[in-house]
Structure 1
Amino acid sequence: MSDYEVRPAVLRDAKAIAEVHAAAARAAYADVLPEDQLRALAPATREAKWREAIEYAEPQVHVAVLGEEVVGFVGFDRSRDPKTPSTTGEIWAIYVRPDHWGQGVGVALWDAAREGLEEEGCTVVTVWVPLRNDRALRFHELAGFKREMKTAKTTSLGDVRIEEIRLKRNV
């Protein structure tokens, strides 16, 4: 039995979500981004985005809490990819504070997102993951996602180009 509770995010969670997002991104991209860009991954650059997402439920956001402390979050909704059926959902973001990695928080968040997508009528779910983020790839593959090899694309994160691949599984 986990001590983590997952619940829908509320507006007062936006700052904590931004802090989790920044800390997890800095840890995940430590070997990918230069130091100045890692420092730029600050909570202040993300709080307004997450406040808006919570307010308008686009994407839907759930948080994992330990006591009163937000230690992770997931954003999910219908797929943003062009030409996907309305029954395709997407994990827009899933982040856990690095000091809680490997403790079941990600699984609890994924379970909540899967249930939410199922309630929305989604039968398939996708997620975009940087190819150099071995931890995220391993997590999603253990959760039953399979790589769609022909979907690889390059995106920019600051001045660095990142190769991403889409993973997919049934809800």
Structure 2
Amino acid sequence: MPDYTLRDATIDDAAAIAAVHWTGRRAVYLAHVPEEHWLTDTQAAGIEAWKRRITSGETPLVAEVDGLVVGFAVVGQAGPRMGHASKRDLALHELWVMPEMHGSGISRALLNGVLPPARSAELWIAAVNTGARRFFQKNGFLPDGTTATGEDGVLEVRLVR
């Protein structure tokens, strides 16, 4: 397991967070969304989006290895999503780790950093993201039978703990 540190993100981390987010999303979704999707879903657009999110008060928890951001997580209030009322008060909005860090323990550290193990929450995840679904199930999140198709056309599953 690599040595890593966890800390709250700052606006200066927007580019690194966007890179992790885009890289992770592309690894999961590349075969499941049209190539045209990536013409507008770019790292540059992600940088601006993360600057806005951080400026508006979201504070991702980031993981660093050798001074480089390799993962992040964001938790917040749950709300309706894709026509479905929330089942929990809190939701894990994002948890992404660079693919080469999968299995390193960093994902679990980020998850526990934003959501202690005993805390109930919900999240939505791409049905095709089987590795991440297994990870979340090992951490107490189970499907509640609710599914919806996201705006990108990918089937998502709600998990609750």
Residue 145 of structure 1: which of 133, 141, 146 is its match?
Answer: 141
Return the offset for 1:40: 4.5
In structure 2, the partner of 1:41 is 41
Can you give the 5+ residue segments of structure 2 that lack an aligned partner in the other structure?
Answer: none
Q: Does 1:55 align with 2:55?
A: yes
1:35 partner amino acid: E
CA distance in 2, matches of 1:40, 1:56: 23
TM-score, normalised to structure 1's length? Answer: 0.82
In structure 1, the partner of 2:19 is 19
Q: Does 1:126 align with 2:145?
A: no
SS of aligned partner of 1:124: coil
Return the offset for 1:31: 2.5
Return the offset for 1:67: 2.3
In structure 2, the partner of 1:105 is 106
SS of aligned partner of 1:153: strand
Can you give the 5+ residue segments of structure 1 that lack an aligned partner in the other structure?
Answer: none
Q: Percent identity?
A: 29
Return the offset for 1:56: 2.4
Q: Does 1:66 align with 2:65?
A: yes
Return the offset for 1:19: 0.6
In structure 2, the partner of 1:164 is 156
TM-score, normalised to structure 2's length? Answer: 0.87
CA contact (8 A) 2:8 2:62 kept: yes
SS of aligned partner of 1:35: coil
1:94 partner amino acid: L
Relative distance call for 1:105 and 1:38 in structure 2 (3 A) is farther
CA contact (8 A) 2:79 2:85 kept: no
